[in-house]
Amino acid sequence: MRSPFPGMDPYLERPSLWHEVHTGLIVALQLHLAPLLPSHYRVAIEQRTYSSPPAPDDLVGLPDVSVLREKTDVAYASAPSTTASVVTPVVVRVPMPEEQRERYLEVRDTQSGVVITVIELVSPSNKRAGEGRREYEQKRMRVLGSLAHLVEVDLLRGGEPMPMRVQDNSRTGHYRILVSRADRRPNADLYLFTVRNTIPTFPLPLQRGDTEPTVDLGKLLHDLHERAHYERAIDYRQDPTPPLDADDAAWADDLLRRAGLR
C-alpha cells in the first residue's frame, strides 16, 4: 500500500520505525543516483558510530520508587538478630550508553577519490542535545568548511532544527532540504515544506560542467513505503508521533477517512 499522504508520511517519524525508514531511504538514494551520475562518479554509503545516553523516552514508565514483595521460596542463612527483615533484590534497568550508527552518502570522484557531495539524512539523535548532535554538528562544520557540497534532508518534525539563518521568516515548514554548494557559501538553497505538501525535487550538486540529476525524494519515499509494506507497522487510527498541531491533525483526519483508513 502506498502512503495516503502527498509527501512525507508523519507516521514514519515514530522512533521505533524511523531507523528502518532512514536505512531504506539511504539505500534507495544510492541505487537511484548511481546510474544517473557520469561514469567518473560513484555513490558510497558511509557510517559514523558513537556512544550516547539513551533518549529520555527510553526511561519513560520506570518508577522512581519500587514496591518490593518478599520472596519466601529462597533460603537464607539464619542471622543472629530476629528483628532484621530479609528482602530479596529485584532486577531493574539502569541507563546505558547506546552505540549509535548513522549512515550517510558520499558522491566521490572515482579517479581521485575526492568527496564531491555529502548527502545527510538527519536522525532524531542529531536534533536533540547530546553526543549525537555534537558529533553531527562537528561533521557538518567540517563539510561546510571544505570544497564538498552538502545536501541535508530533515524529514523529522521533532527536535531542534540544524542551525542556519533564514532570511525570509514568513516561510515556514515542518520539513527541510538544504542544498549547500561549496562555491556559493555562505548562501544555500533551503526547501521548506509541510505535511500537506509533496516533497520538492532538488538538483544534486556536482562538479562544474557536469550534468546534475534531479532527485525526486518523494517518489523514492513512496516507493519504499509500498515495497516495505510500512502500513503493517502503522495504525492510522491513532495519532502520529510526535502529534500534529490541531489544524494539521484535522486535515490528516479527513485525508485518512477519505482513504478508508479511519
For residue range 208-246, list pLDDT tens digits in order.
999 999 999 999 999 999 999 999 999 999 999 999 999
78-111 per-position pLDDT tens digit: 555 556 678 889 888 776 666 678 899 999 999 9
| Residue 129 pLDDT > 80 | yes
Query: What residues are paired with 101 via a beta bridge?
Result: 49
177: three-class secondary structure by DSSP: strand
Strand partners, 98: 52
Encode 210-234: b = buried (16+ Cβ within 10 Å), e = exposed.
eeeeebbbbebbbebbeeeebbeeb
Q: Partners of 47 in the beta sheet? A: 103
Q: Is a pLDDT exceeding 90 seen at residue 75?
A: no
* pTM > 0.85: no
In the β-sheet with 175-180, what is the strand arrangement from edge to edge? 41-52, 98-109, 115-121, 149-154, 175-180, 189-193
Mean pLDDT in the chain?
88
CB of 3 within 8 A of CB of 234?
no
Residue whose C-alpha cell reads 505538501 in the numeric block: 197
9 alpha-carbon distance from chain centroid: 13
